[in-house]
Amino acid sequence: MDSEQVDAYLRRLGVEQTPARPTDEVLRALHLRHLCTVPFENLSVHLGEEIVLDEKLLVDKVVGARRGGFCYELNGAFGALLAALGFEVSPLAARVYGEGERLGVPYDHMALRVRTADGGDWLADVGFGAHSHYPLRFAERGEQEDPGGVFRIAEAGPDAAGAGGGGRGEGREGSDLDVLRDGGRQYRLEVRPRVLGDFVTGAWWHSTSPHSHFMRSLVCSRVTEDGGRVTLSGRRLTVTDPGGGREERELGGDEEVLAAYRELFGIELERVPVVRSRSGDG
């Protein structure tokens, strides 16, 4: 990314000045701004738009088209911005826990390991929907409190989801890690650095397989400025406040749905997306 592209991306996030140094504080601020301004959404899957894991195209989608995306797109674009600002960025592969704590397919999810000029080592993830508002300390094995919940990074194993203590430490070299939120396992993370191209198969599977939850539902969601969340799932609009209060309502005609995408998420669509697959068969 050149300086003009970096400036445009920062404006997209509502950041007026280019950070002088890639510090912990800057990373935390950018992480939150990304969650507030760039929605987690799978609309391309249902609009027939191809998802291409190319850094330039991802940045063009987020910045130029003012769209969002799912993990590969959001963390791919955010990683490109961070690298251009001087952060050391490594994509990491993960498998998401589903029902019965069964792990998903390989390259199911993409997160970022980010090192800063302060010596900080962080797990950044702006592409997991409802998750931590700020990056998590990568080496910390105790609880990490965040507006999005209480998080913990633990060595993967049969007792990894337990509520026991922790402490600091890197754990076994090369061992997988479980990322937990409020005691529940969210995903299993590999510590081996990857590149964007490694996730092509995962992105293809999630955008084509009837077994992928992204194929069976519509979602568009972002963190609100007060720390709550607004989500549009098909025609159902859900607004959650920071205290856990929740309001839901069904939107009416297509014009109301398109207006919600435009006014709540900044997304201009010509037509309402329709779910392509509702079945897990095939």
Q: Average pLDDT of each block of 10 consecutive residues along the chain (282 residues)? A: 95 96 98 98 94 96 97 98 98 93 93 98 96 98 97 79 38 76 96 97 93 92 97 96 93 96 97 74 38
pTM of the predicted protein model: 0.91
pLDDT of residue 172: 45
Evaluate whether 49 touches 271 at the Cβ level (below 8 Å).
Answer: no
pLDDT of residue 175: 85
Q: Is 98 helix (H, G, I), strand (E, B) or coil?
A: coil
